[in-house]
Amino acid sequence: MNYSGLKDVSKDPEKAADVFMMPHDQIGQMAEAGLLYPIGKKQVATIKKNNVDSAIQGVTWKNKVYGYPYGIESQVLYYNKSKLSENDVKSWDSLTQKGKLGANFAENGANYIFAPLFMSNGDVLYGENGEDLKGTNFNNQNGVEVLSWIAKQKSNPGVVQTNAAALANLQSGKIDAFLSGPWSKNDVKKALGDKMAVAAYPTVNFGSGEKQMKAFLGVKVYGVNQQTKSPLASMALANYLSNEKTQEIEFKKNGVVPSNKRAQEATNVKTDAVAKSVMAMSDNDHSVVMPKLPEMTTFWPPMDSLINDVYKGKINATQYQAKLDKFVSDNAKKTK
């Protein structure tokens, strides 16, 4: 078993591991390429019974389950609790009025953090289930509101353009908060020590009332190689590696937040600030399960450009609708 996924398995499926770790957003492309073994009905029932809804959605492609979830991952809000209170960080406006939020609007990677703003304001990416190539509807009034809001953040004194220097800026006090994932937990702890606090995302007002700001949710998955010579044994292994007890060990050793509902109830999970915030982010009100369409690979670059250029003022308000129209049209094209 290894951590591989699409890149390694597709090279030579017969030589790849029978069971491997992968991010859920590769499932669509791997299933379409015949690289994943569909899970049997009995184990599907177990997966659906034991795991949170977002994890089940993450491993499902065209109504078939292709993987065993063992963890969930979402961005959260890290902040300095000596500068900001729990109430301060509940809304973007109060957060940026009372403190300095480090956020990347202007560089590569803005897409992952801020594309979910469109879904926060009621739009959908690749349809309601993330599988409809022509289902993106960012080119409506909701989408225009999102771009207008992004443009305003350039002149928001409580927003500091921050990317690679986020941790250094947090430690120095240049910023009081930033958005990142569980992977930053130890680094933030080093930067802030006992002043570190974590929360789910704040609400945001695009102009028509407070809406819950959403993030992309990722699911950590064990997949079974379609070319395995031992499918039953491989599925039994994947099932074991993703069960409640193993997920508890995975959290204790590696900090992976469980997708198993009972594992989430373990005391050390429930009392961990980052895990608690990730679990809060894992429902449909707070996050969007990353779509699994193969075409998702072509979504990222133009989304980065759109966010970056709007924030920098390179696109003016009269162009928002046309830019969104083109984005949606291009986004509906099949990859080669």
Q: What is the pLDDT of residues 92-109, one digit of tens each?
A: 999 999 999 999 999 999
Instruction: Supply φ then ψ for residue 193, to 5 degrees.
Output: 60, -130
What are the tens digits of pLDDT across the range 213-268? 999 999 999 999 999 999 999 999 999 999 999 999 999 999 999 999 999 999 99
83 and 156 co-located in one domain:
yes
Whether residue 35 is predicted with pLDDT greater than 70 in this model: the reply is yes
What would the two tokens of residue 313 be? Answer: 């003022």
What pLDDT is stored for residue 334 in this prediction?
86
Report how many domains make up the chain: 2
- 336 belongs to a structural domain: no
- 279 belongs to a structural domain: yes
For residue 336, name the pLDDT band (cuts at 50, 70, 90): low
Distance, CA of 234 to CA of 138 (rounded, Å)? 41
Whether residue 10 is predicted with pLDDT greater than 90 in this model: the reply is no
256 and 306 co-located in one domain:
no
128 and 175 co-located in one domain:
yes
What would the two tokens of residue 309 be? Answer: 């250029």
Contact (Cβ atoms closer than 8 angstroms) between residue 32 and residue 17: no
Whether residue 130 is predicted with pLDDT greater than 90 in this model: the reply is yes
188 and 316 co-located in one domain:
yes
What are the tens digits of pLDDT across the range 279-300? 999 999 999 999 999 999 999 9
7 and 54 co-located in one domain:
yes
Distance, CA of 94 to CA of 299 (rounded, Å)? 32
User: Which residue range forms the structural domain that includes residue 114?
Assistant: 74-215+292-331
**C-alpha triplet 259, 183, 90: angle, nearest 5°:** 80
Write the burial class of residue 318 (CB in 10 Å: 0-12 exposed, 13-18 middle, 19+ buried).
Answer: exposed
pTM: 0.93
- The CATH number covering residue 279 comes to 3.40.190.10
Instruction: Supply φ then ψ for residue 286, to 5 degrees.
Output: -110, -15
Residue with tokens 């009081």: 176
Instruction: Supply φ then ψ for residue 13, to 5 degrees.
Output: -55, -35
What pLDDT is stored for residue 335 in this prediction?
76
Whether residue 174 is predicted with pLDDT greater than 60 in this model: the reply is yes
172 and 184 co-located in one domain:
yes
Sequence-separated (6 or more) residues with CB below 8 Å from residue 121: 142, 143, 145, 146, 206, 211
How many CB atoms lie under 10 A from the CB of residue 253?
A: 8
| Average pLDDT of span 178-198 | 96
| Average pLDDT of span 304-317 | 98
Sequence-separated (6 or more) residues with CB below 8 Å from residue 125: 115, 118, 119, 135, 136, 138, 288, 291, 299
Whether residue 5 is predicted with pLDDT greater than 70 in this model: the reply is no
- 318 belongs to a structural domain: yes
- 211 belongs to a structural domain: yes
172 and 320 co-located in one domain:
yes
Of 4 and 209, more confident:
209
Contact (Cβ atoms closer than 8 angstroms) between residue 100 and residue 65: no
